[in-house]
Amino acid sequence: MEKSNVEIKLDELIMVEKPYNILQNLELMEYGGIKAKVYNEYLDPDEGGPMGGAECGRHLAILGSIALAYGFHHKRRHYYLAVHAVLERKTSHISESNHFIAYAIPVLAEKRKGKIYGEILDEHNAVLFTAEVEYMIMSPAVFTKFYENFKLDEEIPAVESPYRNRRRLTNLVFKGDRISADYGTIVGSECEGHFKNYPALPVAVIGDLFRELGFALYKKFFPGYDKMISPRTSIRAYRLAFHGESVAFVGRISKRISRGVILVTAEAKVGDEIISSVEFEVKGVKSENHS
């Protein structure tokens, strides 16, 4: 694909900032696509690399919002809230890598909603993940009016990136094929860069907590695997979860797909309100797949 030397200024496009947005070397491609480089900031020891599914979702959702913003709202900053994503891992092979190439192309753009297709490639240009992400687009005026009760005038930045050193689930309780766990009360510094004065736990972080929940459930019934991966994930976000709110998780095995592969269904809740839901496959990977 041909590229353009048009300068892309992140602070003129979207509301997501560092340290949550760690995309580098952005390039505008033909057909309105955006290319970027990204490094692997977080990978849980249980998940097979080179990149975790939630991290893939994180980077492609951000890159996709930039692609939409550049094509349709680049003169004004907007909030691009990911409301649905379908992620597919294209290989079961486990490897290690720190840097990746990401692409995102708009496939739908309207005043209040958009959709992108994205890919994460390894250093050999092999496709590791594909994603389709849908967004609700909100102007700053609408966003601040809708979430005014969650405004935080003074933010305290984390000592190190909260996306590198993450809080894990606690109080895991197993009951048959079901599991529950607590995340606890969201702290503003855990949401740094997402968003300024309105710190909300990113959907990708919630997605990684879903993974932690599902992997714990998998290990209980299928011990003996070195790593686990998620071949396919469909996640929905119904609303943001802000600082000061307490989040809990519940999940279950909804289907045994084949030997060593299950389908997990889970929900994240604030009180009795479901804020996010997910359906994802979990597959165990043996050591012979290691590179």
Beta-carbon contacts of residue 117 (< 8 Å; ≥ 6 apart): 104, 105, 107, 130, 131, 132
State yes or no: pLDDT of 42 exceeds 80.
Answer: yes
70-79 pLDDT, tens digit per residue, is: 877 556 789 9
Q: What pLDDT, on a 0 to 100 scale, did the predictor assign at position 288? A: 58
Which range of 30-34, 61-65, 97-101 scores highest in mean pLDDT? It is 61-65
DSSP state of 47: B
Q: What pLDDT, on a 0 to 100 scale, did the predictor assign at position 70? A: 84
60-96 pLDDT, tens digit per residue, is: 999 999 999 887 755 678 999 999 999 999 998 898 8
Averaged over 28-37, what is the pLDDT? 87
What are the residue ranges of helices labelled H in 109-259? 140-146, 203-221
Q: What pLDDT, on a 0 to 100 scale, did the predictor assign at position 124? A: 85
From first CA to last CA, the distance across the chain in angstroms is 31
Percent of the chain with pLDDT over 70: 92
State yes or no: pLDDT of 290 exceeds 50.
Answer: no
Q: Are strands 99-109 and 113-121 parallel, antiparallel or unpaired?
A: antiparallel
* Residue 223, SS3 per DSSP: coil
Tokens read off for 207: 């997605």
Q: What pLDDT, on a 0 to 100 scale, did the predictor assign at position 52? A: 94
Count of other CB atoms within 10 angstroms of residue 145: 10
Top pLDDT among 128 and 1 is at 128
Q: What pLDDT, on a 0 to 100 scale, did the predictor assign at position 280? A: 97
244-272 pLDDT, tens digit per residue, is: 999 999 999 999 998 889 999 999 999 99
Whether 155 and 199 have beta carbons less than 8 Å apart is answered as: yes
* Cα–Cα distance, 106 to 109 (Å, whole number): 7
DSSP state of 259: T
Please tell me the pTM assigned to this model: 0.93
* Cα–Cα distance, 171 to 156 (Å, whole number): 27
| Confidence category of residue 1, pLDDT binned at 50, 70, 90 | very low
138-186 pLDDT, tens digit per residue, is: 999 999 999 999 998 876 777 788 999 899 999 999 999 999 999 999 9
| Confidence category of residue 98, pLDDT binned at 50, 70, 90 | confident
Question: Residue 67: what residue type?
Answer: A
Closest to 212 (Cα-Cα) out of 199, 228, 224: 228
* Cα–Cα distance, 283 to 260 (Å, whole number): 6
E-assigned strands of the chain?
Answer: 3-4, 24-29, 34-39, 79-89, 99-109, 113-121, 127-138, 170-175, 178-185, 227-229, 232-237, 246-258, 261-270, 273-285
* Residue 17, SS3 per DSSP: coil
201-249 pLDDT, tens digit per residue, is: 999 999 999 999 999 999 999 988 989 999 999 999 999 999 999 999 9
* Cα–Cα distance, 101 to 63 (Å, whole number): 11
- What does the chain come to in residues? 291
Whether 16 and 30 have beta carbons less than 8 Å apart is answered as: no
Whether 275 and 241 have beta carbons less than 8 Å apart is answered as: yes
